[in-house]
Homo-oligomer: A and B are copies of this chain.
Amino acid sequence: MGALGVPLRPHVKTCKSVEIARRMQGPDSPGITVSSLAEAEHFLEAGLVDQVYAVGIGPGKLDAVAALMARGARLAIVLDHADAARAVAAAAQAHHCRYRVLLEIDADGKRAGLNPSDPALTELARLITTSGNELAGVLTHMGGSYGCRGARALAEAAETERLAAVTAAERLREAGHACSITSVGSTPTAAFARNLNGITEVRAGTHVFMDRVMAELGVCTEDDIAISVLTEVISQRASAGEWLIDAGWTALTTDPGIGGPGFGYGRVCDAHGRPVGDLIVRATNQEHGIVAAASGRALDPNSLHIGQRLRILP
């Protein structure tokens, strides 16, 4: 993003850490992105006041948003429906406050938000500004980029995302509205964008640690993954040529991600983070993981030992 001249507003839902969030912010960073009001409060207490709450606002949360603003949060909320805009108008009157609103734009027809050409866009902007609230800009999230493979598809997804945000912003400006923020964000599109003209901020966050999904997309290599789950070998399934670790889906994931056979629920590394052969977590129970060879061959009975510490790469 730096090379393209657009600052990062890091999504802190991945790191959940104030220290790391501070380190992710460059000198031009406008602030952070949060995915819940609990995160908003946590980071506000640490002095990170400029926040985008990047999930469509539930009207029932507007009281809590007003309370955070009263405590100093410069918190922007997101919506895409006239009823939500009317709820914002009513809450602003009740709390004598002025909400900062971003309109959510759907770049690929699969997520929340309005199509950039939807006539409702300017109607929503009018509802927000005539009720005395601030139209801060537009926001989009190219979730579909996780389904792309290869640099070209990811660069195209990034351009689709950019174009959706810029088109929506242009329409709002043509209708006489200020639109200072044009916010896009996902780690795959951030890494592959070749042009961010018209974009004011990028909200990527997964890149802070990366994972095997990102490696599979070509966004990074497995060497770049900066987080792992430390676990221990607790038993041997000698007859099956497998081992048991004390990390199951409560510690790892129930989600096999995007990989095919052999991808599993994690790559098995030694305590120093070096991959152990082609070992993967083949399957998980609630508290147990089953370690096997990605190739399916039975493991040698001496390949690991009870009590051995392993790191599982997500």
Interface string of A47-63 (1 = CB under 8 A from B): 00000000111111100
Chain B residues lying within 8 Å of A244, measured Cβ to Cβ, are 56, 112
Is there an interface contact between A59 and B246, defined as CB atoms closer than 8 Å?
A: no
> Which chain B residue lies CB-closest to A120?
B238
Chain B residues lying within 8 Å of A235, measured Cβ to Cβ, are 56, 79-81, 84, 112
Chain B residues lying within 8 Å of A253, measured Cβ to Cβ, are 254
Chain B residues lying within 8 Å of A68, measured Cβ to Cβ, are none
Q: Distance in Å from the Cβ of A113 to the closest Cβ of chain B?
A: 8
Bound Cα distance A84, B60 (Å):
52
Interface string of A278-289 (1 = CB under 8 A from B): 000000011110
Q: Which of A137-183 contact B (CB under 8 A)?
A: 143
Task: Answer whether A59 and B112 are a contact pair too, CB < 8 Å, given A84-B235, A285-B143, A286-B35.
Answer: no
Bound Cα distance A266, B131 (Å):
37
Task: Answer whether A232 and B306 are a contact pair too, CB < 8 Å, given A244-B112, A285-B143.
Answer: no
A129 at the interface (CB under 8 A from B): no
Q: Which of A200-218 contact B (CB under 8 A)?
A: none
Bound Cα distance A112, B236 (Å):
9
Task: Answer whether A58 and B246 are a contact pair too, CB < 8 Å, given A80-B235, A288-B112.
Answer: yes
Q: How many copies of this chain does the complex contain?
A: 2
A87 at the interface (CB under 8 A from B): yes
> Which chain B residue lies CB-closest to A237?
B112
Bound Cα distance A156, B197 (Å):
66
A126 at the interface (CB under 8 A from B): no
Identify A287's interface contact among B55, B79, B307, CB under 8 A.
B55
A95 at the interface (CB under 8 A from B): no
Chain B residues lying within 8 Å of A249, measured Cβ to Cβ, are 255
Interface string of A208-246 (1 = CB under 8 A from B): 000000000000000000000001111110000000101
A309 at the interface (CB under 8 A from B): yes
A194 at the interface (CB under 8 A from B): no
Bound Cα distance A79, B112 (Å):
48
Bound Cα distance A298, B80 (Å):
20
Q: Distance in Å from the Cβ of A133 to the closest Cβ of chain B?
A: 16
Bound Cα distance A58, B235 (Å):
9
Chain B residues lying within 8 Å of A83, measured Cβ to Cβ, are 305-307
Given A36-B287, A58-B233, A112-B244, 13 extra CB contacts under 8 A: A55-B234, A56-B246, A59-B306, A60-B307, A61-B246, A81-B234, A81-B235, A81-B306, A83-B306, A84-B234, A87-B306, A111-B288, A112-B235
Please list the 7 inter-chain residue pairs (A to B) with the smallest Cβ-Cβ separation, ordered nearest first.
Answer: A58-B232, A59-B307, A83-B306, A56-B234, A254-B255, A55-B287, A58-B246
A-B contacts, 5 of them at CB < 8 A, read A13-B286, A36-B287, A61-B232, A81-B235, A111-B285
